[in-house]
Amino acid sequence: MPDFFINGQPVHAEKGQTVMQAALAAGFFIPYFCWHPHLSVAGNCRVCVVEVEGEGGGSSWSEIACNMPVSEGMRVLTDSETVREQRKQTLQFILLNHPVDCGICDKAGECLLQDHHYTYNGEPSVSTVPKVRTTKYFQLSDRIVLDNERCIVCSRCVRFTREVSKTHGLGIQSRGDTSLVRAAEDGRFNADAYSDNVVDICPVGALLAKNFLHKARVWYLQATPSVCPGCARGCTVNLWHRKREWKLNHLDPKQNTEIARVTPLENAAVNGPWICNKGRDLAQIFDRVRAEQPMLKGKPATLEQAAAAARRLIEEARAPVALVSNWGSNEELGAFKAALGSRFKCFVKQDRQPEPGEPLQDELLIRADKNPNTATAQQLFGAAPVAFPDGTDLVLVWGEGFDFGGLPRGAKVIFLNAWLAPENGHADVFVPTSLQTERTGHYTNFAGVTSRFERCFGKAPSVAHAEEFFARLAVAAEVA
C-alpha cells in the first residue's frame, strides 16, 4: 500500500486510490465540482488542482487530484500559493457566464460554487464582456426544471443517468459556452424513477425540483433522520421541515408542520446515497387529511371511552381476529404481540399495494412489497394469508388497505387508522393513530437491516400512539 505526503504530513493510501480519495479519507479537504464519490471521474472542472513537489529538488507540477493515482513517496500540496492562484483563475472561468442569482436561487446555502468562490476567489469578475444568455427554467421533465445559465457543465447529472439509473436520459449538446444539458427526446428521463437524485448532486442551482421550487430557504429548515416507508427497502432519508425558531405565524402557518422536501440520508447498508422519486413524494402520503376524532359507531368519543369500549369487546369476544399493519414500527408490533398476541388469531395484511404506473421492482432499490416493515410483522405473526375462521365475532383492523366488505357478517370491529376514511365511522370502535413523523421507532427491511426514524412533529391530544394504546388493552387480554 503506497504511503505519501500531503502538506508535509505522512498519509496512508489504499491500493488504487486517487489523491482526492486518500486526501478526503485522511481529513484533508480538496474542493471539487464534477467529482463525485459514486460516479466515474470526468476531470472537467479543474478546481481540485493540487501541486506535486518535484523529486530531488526538481520543479513542481500541477494536476487534478480526482484523476491522479497515489504513488509511493509523492509529496502533494493542497493549499499552496500556486494552488490557490490556479483555483482562483479556474473559478473566474467557471463564473464567466454564471448569473448572480443567489438571492432567488434554491441552492443558496448549499451551493458549492458559493462556498468555493468565497474561499478561493471572492472577487468580482475580471471580464468586461457581457455574459452569455441562455435558457432559464427549461422544463427538463415533469419533475425538474433546468437553469442553463447556472449550469457549469460538470456532467454529474449525465453520468448519473448513465451509470446509476442507467436510463441514459440526459446528455450534453453543443460545445464551449453553448453547451446545454438536455433530456433524451424519447422521454427516458421523464420516466426515470430516480431522476430527482440529479437535483441533489448538482453542485450549483441549475437543476431544481418543482415540488421545492421557491418554497423555503434551507436555513429555515431542519433535517430529521427518518426511513422511507414506500417499499420494503426502507431507504434512510432526511425529512426537511421548518425550524421552530423560523415558524410562520401569519403567512400560511400550516407550513410549520409540513414536510418541505425529502433527501437521501446516505446508508451503505441500505440505499447508498440515493432514493427513488417515490421517496421524494412522502409529503403526499403524510400530508393527507388526518383522522383526529375517536368514535364509537360513528359518534364522537374520547380516547378513554374508545379504550374502554375496545376492552369490553375484547373481553366478550370468543374468536377474535387481528389484521396487523405492516406499517407498524418494530416497537408497535412488539407491543401488540406482548399485549394482545395470545388473545387474537393474527394475520399480517398488506397496508399498501403498488399504485397504477408505479415501478414494481428493479435492480437498484425499488422492491415489489410497498410496505416498510413486512419482515418484522411476519416474523412475529407469520405469513399466512388473511382468513376468518368460522365463528369470528371480533376483528381488530390496524392500518389501511383492507376492504371492510370482506369482514365476517355480524362481527364487531375495532379500527385503528391515521387518515380520514369512510370506514372510520363504520367501526364499532375507531381510534385515530399517530404517524411515523409523530413518533420515534424502527423498521426492519427485507434484508434484515434495521433503521431508526425520529419524530418531526407533535401529535394532536386526541390521537393515540398505537404502542401505548395496545398496552392499555393488555388488561383486557389478561382478563379474557
| Alpha-carbon distances, residue 93 vs 23, 24, 29, 177 (angstroms) | 25, 25, 22, 11
> Final residue of a domain: which of 180, 214, 248?
214
* Predicted pLDDT of residue 475: 61
Task: Kindly report, residue by residue over 76-114, the tens digit of the pLDDT.
Answer: 999 999 999 999 999 999 999 999 899 999 999 999 999
Are residues 392 and 463 part of one domain? yes
Beginning with the edge strand found earlier in the chain, give each strand of the sheet holding 259-264 in spatial order: 221-227, 236-242, 259-264
CATH number of the structural domain spanning residue 187:
3.30.70.20
Residue 250 has pLDDT above 80, yes or no: no
What domain range is 460 assigned to?
Answer: 295-479
**Structural domain includes residue 230:** no
Total domains in the fold of the chain: 3
**Structural domain includes residue 279:** no
Residue 1 has pLDDT above 80, yes or no: no
Main-chain phi, psi angles of 463, to 5 degrees: -100, 140
**Structural domain includes residue 453:** yes
**Structural domain includes residue 419:** yes
Task: Kindly report, residue by residue over 437-450, the tens digit of the pLDDT.
Answer: 999 999 999 999 99
Task: Kindly report, residue by residue over 50-72, the tens digit of the pLDDT.
Answer: 999 987 667 899 999 999 999 99
pTM for the full model? 0.93
Which residues make beta-bridge pairs with 236? 227
Separation CA 179–CA 148 (nearest Å): 9
**Structural domain includes residue 356:** yes
**Structural domain includes residue 113:** no
Percent of the chain with pLDDT over 90: 88
Identify the band that residue 175 occupies on the pLDDT scale cut at 50, 70 and 90.
confident
CATH number of the structural domain spanning residue 369:
3.40.50.740
| Alpha-carbon distances, residue 131 vs 25, 51, 134 (angstroms) | 38, 31, 10
* Predicted pLDDT of residue 149: 94
* Predicted pLDDT of residue 478: 55
**Structural domain includes residue 107:** no
Look at the block and give the residue holding cell 433527501.
Answer: 263
Separation CA 48–CA 437 (nearest Å): 40
Identify the band that residue 480 occupies on the pLDDT scale cut at 50, 70 and 90.
very low
Return mean pLDDT, the chain.
Answer: 94
> Final residue of a domain: which of 182, 214, 246?
214
| Contact call for residues 379 and 386 (beta carbons, < 8 A) | no
Identify the band that residue 311 occupies on the pLDDT scale cut at 50, 70 and 90.
very high
Are residues 133 and 59 part of one domain? no
